[in-house]
């Protein structure tokens, strides 16, 4: 449990602290997110593999431009959903529809790759900023933002408690008995974390109200709509046109 927790914490901290690639053109986050969501939607709606293969080719080109370390990270995270889909769709091969397995796996690969590459190019605060620009209700954005931040704080708390338990049970109990004792205390750790989270949530909301929060989530980072955004926005009609063409072709 503690290893999983540490891995989760590491992932969140990494996404919280990493800076986006300075070489990439700064595109309006809302626009970037819209294109990603649109492509995922069109891939899901596509009745044949043509459109999906096209999107996959574009994603592979973007992936090829990343440094090796980041490519490995993206592919590592992509592997599990793809393998899982292959496993779930395996019966279709035995039922005489091997193409179905390929099509569905390609759709999943494409969608997950789109999200992973978006994650590589955008900070978490860009995503919350994009939600604001897309007129998603402030309460939704705030809840999501708070969840991400509390995951880190509560993760640290749970980790500290688990470490304390490990130290206290060290050399007292051995083997299976020690493992059983650890599992028994897991419930306690989760309960305490939940209670602390309630207290922290109340305190945070009160602190926000004291600082003038009136239910509207504002983004203070200003991004002017430039020519790069205009070029990027062309992807939306292009994707829709390609989708219609691909569906009409078959």
Q: Which residues bind other proteins (CB under 8 A)?
A: 48-50, 53-54, 56-58, 60-61, 63-64, 67-69, 71-72, 75, 98, 102, 246, 249-250
| Residue with Cβ nearer other proteins (5 or 242) | 242
Q: How far is the CB of 226 from other proteins (least distance, A)?
A: 21
In whole angstroms, how close is the CB of 247 to other proteins at the nearest point?
Answer: 10
Cα-based distances in Å from 53 to 56, 57, 74, 104, 246: 5, 6, 19, 12, 11
Residue 39 CB, shortest distance to other proteins, in Å, is 16
**Smallest gap from residue 97 Cβ to other proteins (A):** 13
> How many angstroms separate the CA atoms of 214 and 138, rounded?
10
The alpha carbon torsion through 35, 40, 53, 15 (nearest 10 deg) reads 80
- Compute the least distance from the CB of residue 248 to other proteins, in Å: 10
Shortest spacing between CB 106 and other proteins, in angstroms: 8
- Computed on alpha carbons and rounded to an integer, the radius of gyration of the chain in Å comes to 23
Query: Nearer to other proteins by C-beta: 30 or 39?
Result: 39
The least CB distance from residue 57 to other proteins, in Å, is 4
Contact between residue 12 and residue 152 where contact means Cβ atoms under 8 Å apart: yes
Instruction: Give the list of residues 6+ apart from residue 69 with CB closer than 8 angstroms, or none.
Output: none
Q: Which residue number, 50 or 148, has a Cβ lying nearer to other proteins?
A: 50
Does residue 113 sit in helix, strand or coil?
helix
> Tokens in use for 226?
């430039």
User: Of 50 and 151, which CB lies nearer to other proteins in the complex structure?
Assistant: 50
Packing angle of the helix pair 29-45, 98-121 (nearest 10 deg): 180
**Of 68 and 175, which has the nearer Cβ to other proteins?**
68
Q: What span, in angstroms and rounded, lies between the C-alpha atoms of 228 and 62?
A: 17
| DSSP letters spanning 123-188 | -HHHHHHHHHHTT--HHHHHHHHHHHHHHHHHHHHHHHHHHHHHHHHTTTS-HHHHHHHHHHHHHH
Q: 67 or 96: whose CB is closer to other proteins? A: 67
Between 68 and 215, whose beta carbon lies closer to other proteins?
Answer: 68
């Amino acid at each position: 449990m503690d290893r999983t927790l540490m891995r989760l914490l590491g992932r969140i901290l990494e996404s919280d602290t990493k800076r986006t690639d300075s070489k990439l053109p700064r595109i309006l986050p809302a626009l970037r997110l819209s294109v990603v969501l649109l492509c995922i939607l069109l891939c899901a709606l596509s009745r044949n593999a043509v459109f999906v293969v096209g999107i996959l080719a574009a994603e592979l080109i973007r992936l090829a431009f990343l440094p090796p370390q980041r490519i490995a990270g993206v592919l590592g995270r992509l592997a599990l959903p793809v393998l899982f889909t292959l496993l779930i769709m395996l019966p279709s091969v035995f039922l005489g529809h091997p193409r179905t397995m390929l099509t569905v796996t390609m759709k999943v690969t494409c969608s997950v790759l789109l999200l992973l590459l978006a994650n590589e190019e955008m900070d978490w605060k860009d995503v919350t900023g994009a939600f604001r620009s897309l007129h998603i209700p402030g309460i939704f954005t705030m809840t999501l933002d708070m969840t991400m931040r509390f995951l880190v704080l509560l993760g640290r708390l749970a980790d500290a408690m688990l470490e304390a338990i490990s130290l206290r049970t060290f050399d007292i109990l051995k083997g299976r008995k020690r493992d059983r004792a650890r599992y028994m205390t897991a419930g306690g750790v989760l309960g305490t974390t939940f209670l602390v989270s309630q207290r922290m949530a109340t305190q945070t909301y009160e602190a926000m109200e004291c600082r003038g929060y009136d239910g509207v989530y504002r983004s203070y980072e200003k991004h002017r709509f430039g020519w790069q955004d205009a070029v990027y926005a062309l992807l939306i009609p292009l994707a829709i046109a390609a989708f219609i063409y691909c569906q009409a072709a078959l």
